[in-house]
Amino acid sequence: MKKIPDDIKRLDEKIAGLRFKEAKIRKERQESEFAHAAKAGFRVGTELLSGVLVGAAVGYVLDGLFGTRPWLLVIFMFLGGAAGVVNVYRFAKGEEQKRKE
């Protein structure tokens, strides 16, 4: 087992202390309703857009491999969109559970 130098141990302790202070401050300070809504909106938009983009990329690559242009692109784009909608639904259910608690 390697011995950790003292200066790295002190730095690690300092980082842990600062993380503790930050967590305490974040817990005490309430998030505004606008900030919460903005974060949720960005998350929903990202989930939907990333699902469609990943589906389209997979379809494009498979079209190139199998020579079925543009059918797999269209199919996987719709599948990616459906996956994005499912992710948004899961996110909404999770937010609903948080609000009930």
Q: What is the pLDDT of residues 48-68, one digit of tens each?
A: 999 999 999 999 999 999 999
Q: What is the pTM of this model?
A: 0.70
Q: What is the CA radius of gyration of the chain?
A: 22
Vertex 78: Cα angle to 72 and 81 (nearest 5) = 135
Q: Where are the beta strands (DSSP E) in the chain?
A: none
> Residue 53 and residue 75: Cα distance in Å, rounded?
12
Which residue positions in the chain have pLDDT lower than 70?
1
Residue 63 near residue 70, CB atoms below 8 Å: yes
